[in-house]
């Protein structure tokens, strides 16, 4: 299966979460970075990257603030966090087969019940 469409998904999530990197800090939570990892989910993403690679690159391991990482490193953490999430395989396959990215986003990145404003924004990014 061709997984290159996942890069489109990452692009859409970065638009949804940070306006493609224009808003790197959420003033009402600990979320930061292109994909708006909270402090806790940043640690989880590092651990998930370790599960995949067997190690975490030193520059990622030693970084306390995700905004200090390159966009490529943030994307690596995003994919590690997404693909290692329990039950994400079926959602990823459905997306790669042509379904909307909305279910994948809500279940395995957003992880909550989106409010009306968030659902409205999602329509812009996940058609």
Residues 24-67 pLDDT 10s: 999 999 999 999 999 999 999 999 999 999 999 999 999 999 99
DSSP string, 28-85: TSS-BTTTTB-HHHHHHHHHHHHHHHSS--HHHHT-SSGGGS-HHHHHHHHHHHHHTS
Banded pLDDT at 83 (limits 50, 70, 90): very high
Backbone angles phi, psi at 25, to 5 degrees: -130, 130
Q: Which residues of 50-76 are buried (b: 16+ CB within 10 A; e: fewer)?
A: beeeeebeeebeebeebeebeeebbbb
Of 85, 84, 77, 83, the closest CA to residue 111 belongs to 85
Q: Which two tokens stand for residue 20?
A: 């493609």
- The domains of the chain are located at 5-125
The stretch 87-101 carries a mean pLDDT of: 95
Please say if the pLDDT value at position 127 is more than 90: no
The tokens for 97 are 């087969």
Least Cα distance to 82 among 52, 108, 43 occurs for 108
The total of other beta-carbon atoms located within 10 Å of residue 21's CB is 15
pTM: 0.94
pLDDT score of 21: 94
């Amino acid at each position: 299966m061709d997984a290159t469409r996942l890069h489109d998904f990452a692009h859409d999530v970065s638009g949804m979460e940070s306006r493609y990197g224009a808003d790197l800090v959420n003033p009402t939570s600990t979320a930061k970075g292109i994909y708006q990892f909270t402090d806790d989910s940043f640690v989880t993403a590092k651990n998930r990257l370790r599960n995949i690679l067997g190690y975490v690159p030193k520059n990622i391991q030693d970084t306390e603030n995700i905004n200090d990482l390159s966009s490529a490193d943030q994307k690596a953490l995003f994919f590690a966090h997404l693909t290692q999430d329990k039950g994400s395989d079926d959602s990823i396959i459905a997306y790669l087969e042509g379904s909307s990215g909305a279910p994948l986003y809500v279940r395995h990145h957003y992880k909550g019940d989106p409010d009306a404003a968030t659902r409205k924004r999602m329509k812009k990014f996940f058609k």
